[in-house]
Amino acid sequence: MARILITSAIPYINGIKHLGNLIGSQLPADLYARYQRGRGNEVMFLCATDEHGTPAELAAAKAGKPVAEYCAEMHGVQADIAQRFGLSFDHFGRSSSPQNKALTQHFAGKLDDAGLIREVSEKQVYSHADGRFLPDRYIEGTCPNCGYDRARGDQCENCTKQLDPTDLIEPRSAISGSTDLEVRETKHLYLRQSSMKDQLNAWIDSKTDWPILTTSIAKKWLHDGDGLQDRGITRDLDWGVPVKKGDQDWPGMEGKVFYVWFDAPIEYIACAKEWADATGKADAEWERWWRTDKGADDVRYVQFMGKDNVPFHTLSFPATILGSGEPWKMVDHLKSFNYLNYDGGQFSTSQGRGVFMDQALDILPADYWRWWLLSHAPESSDSEFTWENFQQSVNKDLADVLGNFVSRITKFCRSKFGEAVPQGGTYGDREQALIEELTRRVRAYEGFMEAMEVRKSAQELRAIWVAGNEYLQSAAPWSTFKEDPEQAAVQVRLGLNLIRLYAVLSAPFIPETTARMLSAMNTMDTAWPDDVAAALSALPAGHDFAVPDVLFAKITDEQREDWQDRFAGVRT
């Protein structure tokens, strides 16, 4: 039994996320976690809310609540939506937790002891209109590299170039829009990641199975321009982890907090400690996942994230872990995703353009969305959500292929044999041919899932569904029954066993539907089909079942048009 540690990029606390955020990390991570559990492996799947920094302060102010209260409330909202989307986290933590505070301060102390932190007197932008220093991401302007007019002070989203606020042309406050900005001197701590460039480069070179998207972004940051730069890890803010060296004060850093991009990735580790504390487990239980001197040397650690998060997880966070000199588990595979765009443009949280997770669940069950998002995951390039494509995929894949198969075979069996698996007959050449085809396809499906090739996995799963439909259409038990009821019983028995097989194979993609299919088949048997022939005999003759309600309702043209208008951009 393998041990697999899985983390997905942690969502920011300020509001409910849209479907592009969901497919960028959490949903494919859940797919992989569910698959590995289904294969009998031990999985630890961790996620959390990212709660520190200016966005949290501003969102709380807009809501008229203290920031700590706002973050606690929004954590509950995000946890609830995640649960309703079927995201099977072992723990959904918080970066504002005491565990993360202690661990962040611990890492800072270790890095300082190793000579990897330096104090810098720098000039930082102060906004008179806002009465505060502005974090880099809250200064906007024109990128000097590509001319994009909404580049942030830390990075241009258009060309991904790392920036400083003073690099921007015509800078303005992203909070108030004011251009009344002043550059003032302040002191901050910097992580000397430039001194670790060769070590990080060698580590990345060792990851020969990483997606090209992941390694190309990391290499770009390592080698383009002036190469890897030291990174500020503190900010002049009120909300965050106070700057300390372990449990000791840090002279000159009073009133400052650690930069959110320093403490947020550390939450991956702290989240496991939160899980242990919440469940009354000893420290050894979480350390066996994260400390190679405590048993984590045999753990395979996989991260899932959107491409905008790749630089911090291939360079800055690894620099933190390596620089500490302690035996922490490093990531083995980093699966990155491109962007999901929305209907000819981009999702926009501020403009309400696109479908947000709560809205999605208001109009359709989670499995409709899970299937479309995963089967259209933006792996090799950006992909686009359109309502026409969504309608077509739901109607053809879920309703016509899977749902129709389940409905036809169960209703036919009930009408001719009753609600029990029929007896009589043995598998013939047609059935053996199907078993051989399914064996090939199940093995291919396993290969794609192991390789985290999400779209190919979905395509293979659909092909497995189609094979059953083609068999049913070819065998035509409704015709066979007139001439040879015993042979029809064989065909129906195989069809009912296919429902159980489809439920097991489909569980990572559509878990709620899987539960309904298993319930209808009156079984708790979720054994993985290592032997497909044996799996297709799991439900014996005489086994009771029930005809389920329609698994997937088709989306009408009227619904599609209504939703397309509703989510065009009216959310405030």
Q: Which residues, other chains included, contact 43 with Cβ-Cβ below 8 Å and sequence gap of 6+?
A: 3, 4, 5, 6, 33, 36, 37, 90
Is 47 annotated in a binding site? The answer is: no
CA distances from 468 to 382, 402, 440, 550, 558 (A): 32, 9, 14, 18, 31
Instruction: Tell me the helices (H) and strands (E) count for the chain, helix number first.
Output: 22, 18
User: Is 146 among the annotated ligand-binding positions?
Assistant: yes
Tokens found for residue 502? 């489809």
349 is in an annotated binding site: yes
Q: What are phi and psi of 420, to 5 degrees?
A: -150, 150
Helices in 476-530 by DSSP H: which ranges?
A: 477-483, 485-506, 511-520
- Check residue 300 and report its DSSP letter: E
Contact 497, 537 (CB under 8 A): yes
Strands 117-127 and 132-133: antiparallel
Q: Greatest CA span in the chain, whole angstroms?
A: 91
422 and 493 Cβ atoms separated by less than 8 Å? yes
Classify residue 63 by burial, with Cβ atoms within 10 Å: 0-12, 13-18, 19+.
Answer: middle
Distance CA 398, CA 395 (A): 6
Residue set of the binding site: 143, 146, 156, 159, 349
Residue set of the binding site for ATP: 349
Residue set of the binding site for Zn(2+): 143, 146, 156, 159
